[in-house]
Every structure is written in structure tokens, then in C-alpha cells.
Structure 1
């Protein structure tokens, strides 16, 4: 007769349910992750196509994509679930003065336990601060890009837009560097939740509803916009002076037609 259980383990009753290892707690919902990656890819693509006329339309389309995504994030942050509200981010940052006072008090008294707690809180505040800075830097970057595209200013506006782009890149690099440093310090991949939506560990989900349907709608809306722009893109040879595009999706004129 063949044994059906390993020695030392209780035999499972017939029909009993098996338990699988927990995948972790859900901490980020699907629309937030979709927004993050679409916005990040749009910014990287727009930054790489910022110079020269050859990729100008790609740069403009990605800029308008960032504008639409930013508008969606603000709307979701105002009327969405509690965990995605912009007010929640503001409350986290509002705790900075209390954190500073507690840290100074722990340094004066030499309380290592309290200092360890404030240190971890300071790390979380730093992450929240960089995220807030990225959200605040995006509107002037997009606005200056739209104004430059429609030629509402002179060369000074192009320089302002370029400065905002470089500032945004610096914030992105600071965000990535901080994530890498804290991941190494805590021995935990802090970027994984933005991919899977979950963090290792047992306990209740911090995000009860994944809202996957909304994430798909967001992705499909971006793809539909890109497809529409592709159908409106100019066809034909390009002059040495490049294309002068008066409006997105409008007719294209050559510089020598003026």
C-alpha cells in the first residue's frame, strides 16, 4: 500500500480545501499603476524626441498624452476612492513638521528606538515629497509645451519649457534613486507594488477594490488617441526647414509656402 501523506504530517480529510501561499497585500490599484506607467513612458518618449523637427509630432502627441493623463489623475484624486485621493498625499506631507520635532527630540535625548521610528517615517515622507513634486512640476511643463507648440511666445518660452523638462527629469532620477536606495536599505523591492499592486506580507488588503476595468479604459483611451493622431499625421516628403504645424491634426504647410 502506498502512503498518501508524508511522515509526521496530519492526513488531510477528504474534500478539505488546500491553502496556497498568500500573494501579499494589495496596496496599489490597477488604474493608479496604469497611470504611472503611461505617464512615465510618455515623459521619457517626449524627452527623447524634444530636439529636432523630425520627431516633433511624436513629441507633441506624447505631450498631449501627458496632459490628458494628468487631468485624469487630478479628477481621480478628487472623486476617486480614499486611497487615491490627493488629500491623502497632502495629509502625509502635513506630518512633516511633527516628524521634524520628534526627530530633534530623539536626537537630544539619545532615544535610539524613537530615532529609528522617525527615520522610517522620514523615508516615507521623502518618497511622498518627490511624488508631490512630480505632480506639481507636470502642469507647468505641459502648459509651457502647449504654448510653445502654438507659438504663443518667443524663444524665451522654449527655454522655459526646456528648463521645466530638465527639472522634471531631475525629479524622476531623484525618485528612482530614492527607491533604489531605500530598497537596498530595507532589503525589499519597493518598486514591485507598482508592477503587481501587492507587497509581501500577511494581513488585509489596504486597497479593497482593484478597479481593473478602469485601468483598461484608461489604456484603451490612450491607444485610441494615438491611433487617431496616426491617421491625422501628415504624409509626404519633409523640407529641410521641417514642418510647421499650426495645430495638432491640422493640415501641414511647408516653410517655403509663407
Structure 2
């Protein structure tokens, strides 16, 4: 295939399988709905929370049985490795990864934990034992707001890496394809 000006576009490889992409965008949508409805539209908020919990459970299973780039073993690294990668990003010398880089892997783990905690505390608030518990409600709200902060950091990281490596990572989470290894 010849691109504009007679240039051949770079070769691409399939990285993100359909499950990972559908999970990602469904999670984004459900979290926005849950966060936006909060106390205002409780039925929608609770339904979105249950969908998020189901999505998380499916993603965790997929992290062990899914294809290479979906597996936790391919992107979860020790904290020192993730911090070293962040240092390299700041110094504009971070290596490009076809799958998740070490900082991205750490972000996925942090988001999964924060979202699981948000879902768990949301569910616990509906039980007789914790109905009306202000402590659980505050923890639930804290975790939801922590998740928002993590999402902002995630988006900033995606934008920085898209710029640094000159590739549109958002588009790759839609198409499932990324530029082949350099």
C-alpha cells in the first residue's frame, strides 16, 4: 500500500485483541456514567457499578488466559522498573514497547485495584451491616476520586508516550494495531 506522496506507510502489528479494546472503552463509558450519576440517579449508578465489577472480573481472568499483550505476565514489572521507566520518560530516552511499557503496566494494576475497591465498597454499602455507614461511603468516594486522578495520569501518560514515540496510542486502542517494532 502506498501512502500520500508515494511513501509506504509503516508496517503494523496486531497488539490489542478485541476483548481488551471492548473492555477498555466499556470501562471508560461505565465509569463516566457511574461517576456522573453518583447520588443523583442511584439505579443507573448501581447498574454501572455492577457492570464495572463484571468487566473487572473478566479482565482479570483475561490477564491470565488472554493473548500475549493482554497477559499480566507480559507487562507487570517490579515498582523499581516502572519508576526507572518514568525517569527515562522524563529524560526523553524511554524505550518504545509494542505492548504496555512498565509504567503503563503499573497504571493498569493501580486502576484495577482502585476500581475493584470502589466496586467492593459500593456493594458493601448496600448490605444490612453497612447500610448508611459514613466511613464506607467516604472510602467509596475516596477510591472513586482516586480513580479519576489515576485516569488523568493515564491520559497524560498516553499523550506523552504518543508524542515521544510519534504514534497515536488512542488510535491503536481503537484499531488494535500499532507500528511494528523499530
TM-score bracket for the superposition, by shorter chain length: 0.7 to 0.9
Structure 1 or 2, whichever has the larger Rg, is: 1
Q: Is residue 31 of structure 2 the alignment partner of residue 43 of structure 1?
A: yes
Counterpart for residue 60 of structure 1: 46
Deviation at 1:184, TM superposition (A): 2.3
Within the candidate set 58, 62, 72, 1:72 is matched to: 58
SS of the aligned residue for 1:193 comes to helix
Partner Cα separation in structure 2 for residue 138 and residue 161 of structure 1: 10
Counterparts of 1:41-120 in structure 2, within 5 Å, are: 41-52=29-40, 55-90=41-76, 93-94=77-78, 96-97=80-81, 100=84, 119-120=94-95
Asked if structure 2 preserves the Cα contact closer than 8 Å seen for 1:99 and 1:121, the reply is no
In terms of fraction of residues, the more helix-rich structure is 2
TM-score, length of structure 2 as denominator length: 0.79
Counterpart for residue 125 of structure 1: 102
Q: State the Cα RMSD in Å.
A: 3.1
Residues 189-235 of structure 1 deviation map (CA, whole Å, 9 limit, x = unaligned): 122110000113489xxxxxxxxxxxxxxxxxxxxxxxxxxxxxxxx
TM-score, length of structure 1 as denominator length: 0.57
Q: Structure 2: any 5+ residue segments left out of the alignment? A: 1-7
SS of the aligned residue for 1:199 comes to strand
Counterpart for residue 109 of structure 1: none
* Structure-2 change in CA distance of 1:198 and 1:38 (3 Å): same
* Structure-2 change in CA distance of 1:23 and 1:149 (3 Å): farther
Partner Cα separation in structure 2 for residue 36 and residue 98 of structure 1: 21
Number of residues paired by the alignment? 168
